Amino acid sequence: MDQLITLLQSGMSLQEAIDSLQQDNSNRDIQKFIALVNRGVPLMVAIASFFHWTIPFPFRLSTIPMDTLKFLLVCEHYRSQRQVYVRFVCSQLMYPVFLLSVSTCIIGLLFFHHPLLFNVKWQLFFFAIVGFIYVAFIVCILLFLKRIVSVSVLDILHLVNSCLRQGWSIKFLFDSVCFSASFGKSWQRIYDQAIRHQSFILSLRGTYPMPSTMVDSLLKYERVGHLVEGLDVILPKFQTIEFRRLKWACRSFNAALYIVIVFMILTIVFLVYFPMVNDYLR
């Protein structure tokens, strides 16, 4: 997406930028985007090809006219902010998940080639162990995916700050932003409360937990019409707090994974050495 933004900032039209990207470009996201635009798909839909499953696309099709470059800048800023957290979570959890996968495979191989399987009681015991390992592995993966894909209040505030900086109105934000169907219900509730309270920050606090000090500060900026300046001041501090929480969550999750991995290693040692000890004692 940054290549497209660079071409548009140089003064090219959208079609000229697409024609330029089409020449000798092997990036699959860009190729998919170009194919969608050439088929007549609206830009607000086609730009979703730059967003992968780890970064949910925040917008829905809107008939409100908009500046193409400003829209792309908003998308790129949101995507870059989200990528920081995705890469951090991946770097923290990749190694223990890899160990968990390898240990599960080793236990599976030992399970199907172990002499104790001829005993029915040992069969049930091994089935229970392998079943527990696989269930734990699936649960870990699901928790990992949920942590990656879920939308946080920090994502919303970053997106709101980027949109307001590009000259978008709050009404345009409510009409255009929709991460998913489940988020759409929460977003509609925020919209209804914003109309009732005449405050975006109060309506956001009613749906998502936010530190009271941050809410009070943002409310003061909002009441004097300087919400963007307030977000510029508050967001870096709030991002530091959220990043610290994310680190703690990753470390806790890592600890749980390593407990499972240690249990699996002990199981592997038992499966390997028990027949040897048994034969030796005989």
Please check whether residue 159 lies inside any domain of the structure. no
Is residue 189 a part of any domain in this protein? no
| 204 belongs to a structural domain | no
* 198 falls within a domain: no
Residues 78 and 142 in one domain: yes
pLDDT level of residue 281 (50, 70, 90 thresholds): low
46 & 78 share domain: no
Q: Are residues 78 and 44 in the same domain?
A: no
Structural domain contains residue 31: yes
Q: Would you say residue 231 lies in a domain?
A: no
* Mean pLDDT taken over the chain: 76
Q: What angle do CA 254, 258, 261 make, to 5 degrees?
A: 140
Residue 217 in any domain: the answer is: no
Band (260; pLDDT cuts 50, 70, 90)? confident
Q: What is the CA radius of gyration of the chain?
A: 26
Tokens for 250?
């990753």
User: Is residue 272 scored above 80 in pLDDT?
Assistant: no
| 128 lies in some domain | yes
Check whether residue 82 and residue 141 sit in a common domain: yes
Same domain? 83 vs 133 = yes
Angle at 258 between CA 256 and CA 263, to 5 degrees: 100
Rounded CA-CA distance 230/260 in Å is: 45
Q: How does pLDDT run across 107-144, given as a tens digit for each residue?
A: 767 766 665 555 566 667 767 776 776 777 777 767 76
pTM of the model as a whole: 0.67
Residues 42 and 98 in one domain: no
pLDDT higher than 80, residue 234: yes
Q: Could you tell me if 7 and 40 lie in one domain?
A: yes
Closest CA to 151 of 90, 221, 207: 207
Alpha helices in the chain (DSSP H): 2-9, 14-22, 28-38, 43-46, 68-112, 120-149, 153-165, 170-176, 181-197, 200-205, 212-223, 227-281
Which of 32-46, 71-85, 179-193 is predicted with the least confidence, judged by mean pLDDT?
179-193
Our count of domains for the chain comes to 2
Range of the domain at 42: 1-50
Same domain, 142 and 249: yes
